[in-house]
Amino acid sequence: MTSPADIPDLSNLWMPFTANRQFKEQPRLLAKARGMYYTTVDGKQVLDGTAGLWCVNAGHGRSEIIDAISRQAAELDYAPSFQLGHSDSFRAATAVTRMMPAGMDRIFFTNSGSESVDTALKIALAYHRARGEGQRTRLIGRERGYHGVGFGGISVGGISPNRKAFSGALLPGVDHLPHTHDLSRNAHTRGQPAWGEHLADELERIVALHDASTIAAVIVEPLAGSTGVLVPPKGYLEKLRAITEKHGILLIFDEVITAFGRLGAATASEYFGVTPDLMSLAKGISNASVPAGAVAVKREVHDTILGAAANGIEFFHGYTYSAHPLATAAILATLEIYEREQLFQRARALSAKFEDAAHQLEEARHVIDVRNLGMVAGIELAPRDGAPGARAAEVFRKCFDQGIMLRYTGDILAISPPLIIEESQIEEIFGKIGAVLQATA
């Protein structure tokens, strides 16, 4: 148990996406992290089953990244990115480009996934305006989609609690595709479900309603993570790509979670063989050691915007901390680790073991679905009558007490460990989840 001496004053911090009153009654405080483990303030080790928040893909406390950040802080702690630059910002852009699909070789740096999404939406609007089609302003998201917490992101996003409190201030001219989750047809699917490709045809209905000449972009997560691990049906992303190309609509992949190895490839685009026009990035780009994000842009989109502008600033957008020196140092060190240790290939090799371990819980108490792809799995639980989400929240707390860190959304548990995980640790994670489920009412 955490002693009172270990706990600071908790009253001043308003915690994000947290039941603050409940947390502060029984706080879970982390003090250290190394490799696959966190250590709590009272010295207990907790196996990280979620790569922090889907982001610590190379494991915690990597000395190469720590050293790179330290050297950079001593050498150049900050450099403005407006009308000035520093060498590592260009080197980092080149390094990111090497991991992107062919042709997506223009990089705009941000500081988070939320900023990356809003930046991608702005780029899409700027592209059509540069082409002389400024009337293309409508944006299409998807139900249950999560695209961060900027007003652009929650507008195209489709998670109700994130939208309802701000419903009067969401962007106008936004529509949504249906989500792809269907328990009655796809429960306990290993990998991509066979049913659901036709759901992409809903885009044609939206096009018919609004006319393609008004639509700027469609944004989807190739694999939806934060909403509870929704794996795209076979053929679904390919059909979305074909429809958007047919109507001159840009396709944006939100790869904040899926990029940098989560599916056993550099990007989900590479994994699925479907290349979007824009890609939002964050999380694993810096191994979460420094806040960092980016948008990867097809050269044609970039060149169109720059080519249509008069002399001077071509795109009126950016952040004080775009390409921050500490962030670019972390990005360069992180991407070098991924390549040197072949962590994406390692993730692909471990995926079958991970899948088998996850699906051993199909018959576990309360489990109504297990779904997976690459190094990510979702375990959906039957909700308690009148208390949706309560069962998963209890399992989360009990697993933490047993030394396993998970994520949960509603009644869905999510597992997405660092890519350095060992087979024995995979077994430990799912074994302890099973034991906790058995002991949970």
What confidence tens digit (pLDDT) does each residue in 228-261 have? 999 999 999 999 999 999 999 999 999 999 999 9
Residue type, 79: A
**435 and 360 Cβ atoms separated by less than 8 Å:** no
**How distant, in Å, are the alpha carbons of 19, 150, 402 from that of 6?**
21, 35, 20
Tell me how far apart the alpha carbons of residues 8 and 22 are, in angstroms, rounded to a whole number: 16
Per the confidence metrics, is the pTM higher than 0.85? yes
Cα(147)–Cα(227) distance, rounded to whole angstroms?
10
Is there a contact between 390 and 384 (Cβ–Cβ < 8 Å)? yes
Sheet of 37-40, strands arranged across:
30-34, 37-40, 45-48, 404-405
Q: What are the chain's domains?
A: 4-58+342-438 (3.90.1150.10), 66-340 (3.40.640.10)
In this structure, the strands spanning 407-409 and 412-415 are antiparallel
Q: What is the arithmetic mean of pLDDT over 108-133?
A: 98
Please give the Cα distance from 375 to 327 (Å, whole number).
25
| Those residues with Cβ within 8 angstroms of residue 43's Cβ, 6 or more apart along the chain or in another chain | none
- pLDDT at residue 5, as a whole number: 60
pLDDT at res. 6: 75
Kindly tell me the sign of the dihedral angle through the C-alpha atoms of 377, 380, 381, 385: positive
Task: Read off the pLDDT band of 316 (50, 70, 90).
Answer: very high
pLDDT score, position 1:
47
CA distances from 236 to 120, 171, 220, 330 (A): 22, 27, 11, 35
Lookup: tokens for 394? 């209890």
The strand pairing partners of 404, in sequence order, are 47
Cβ contact 374:350 at 8 Å? no
Amino acid at 126: A
Predicted pLDDT of residue 174: 98
| Interval 262-287: pLDDT, tens | 999 999 999 999 999 999 999 999 99
CA distance 104 to 83: 24
Task: With cut-offs at 50, 70 and 90, classify the pLDDT of residue 3.
Answer: low
Mean pLDDT of 98-108: 98
H or E segment at 93? helix 87-97
pLDDT tens, position by position, 170-187: 999 999 999 999 999 999
Q: How far apart are CA 138 and CA 215, in angstroms?
A: 4
Radius of gyration of the chain (CA): 22
